[in-house]
Amino acid sequence: MKIGFIGLGIMGAPMSQNLKKAGYQVMVFDYSANRMEMAKAAGMELAENSHQIARECGIIITMLPDSPLVKNLLIGENGIAKDMKTGTLVIDMTSGAPNDSRDIYAGLKKLDIHFMDAPVSGGEPMAISGQLAIMAGGDVEDFERAKSLLGVMGSNVTWVGSVGSGNVCKLTNQIIVAVNIAGLAEGLMLAEKAGADTELVFAAIQNGLAGSAVMNAKVPMMLAGDNKPGFRIDLHIKDLTNAMSTGKLFDAPMMLTAQMLEIMKDLSAEGDGSSDHSAIAKYYERLGNAKLSK
């Protein structure tokens, strides 16, 4: 069966390439001519447009910046759902809003088209290595159908419940990651201001209770002043905005999320919207009038 892949950004490009390497027949589409050329060089079949993917592919993966774009692509006025065959499975791996996923599911169900939300965590390095964490929401039968395919792109593939649950899980993840990065920056700034060697502090605590995958991935970037995006500040703003909206619907306390959203908006206003979210360290450097990077 031919797999369609729509969206070849930082995450989508390596994810689609891993499917190709695993032996799947992959047809891709992206509005960027440069990205399409890179996909062609990787041996993938190029579609003229997303409608061609809808007509020819039995499983379609979308990886776009936000869920309203996915919603419009699939069930909007010129949506591609009407071009799909009955029984097609759409797997949206975009980080989006749970209610958008539920709306898409309902719209596609009327056409006997299956839908799952399956956002990912791990950033570009894990997308390249095929070791993403994938959190899937949808009908369990669809998850079982897609599990081996998802396993090519991720090392931890988990069904978390009905449609929309995948994005609820991803929003939970994004809150925890944001607060964790800020905690790392704040703690390291204390160490720096108090005269400690931040690299030695990192070495001392990374295998203790404070240690985490976030610490191991982001502290070296902070200390090197490396803001090359694995996950951009502006995308994290989008996720935290969706988290705040979802939290409001269910009267969930969101104090830390609100604070992190303001910090990231400040960074974006200062020109760091396209920087990696480890650039939260720059916010603390500005407030502390000290540098973490050497």
Catalytic amino acids?
170
Q: Alpha-carbon distance 94 to 166, whole Å?
A: 10
142-162: b or e for each residue (b if 16 or more CB lie within 10 Å)?
bbebbeebbebbbeebebbeb
Distances (CA, A) of 213 to 86, 166, 253: 41, 21, 25
88: nearest Cα among 39, 146, 163, 43: 146
β-sheet bridge partners, residue 157: 134
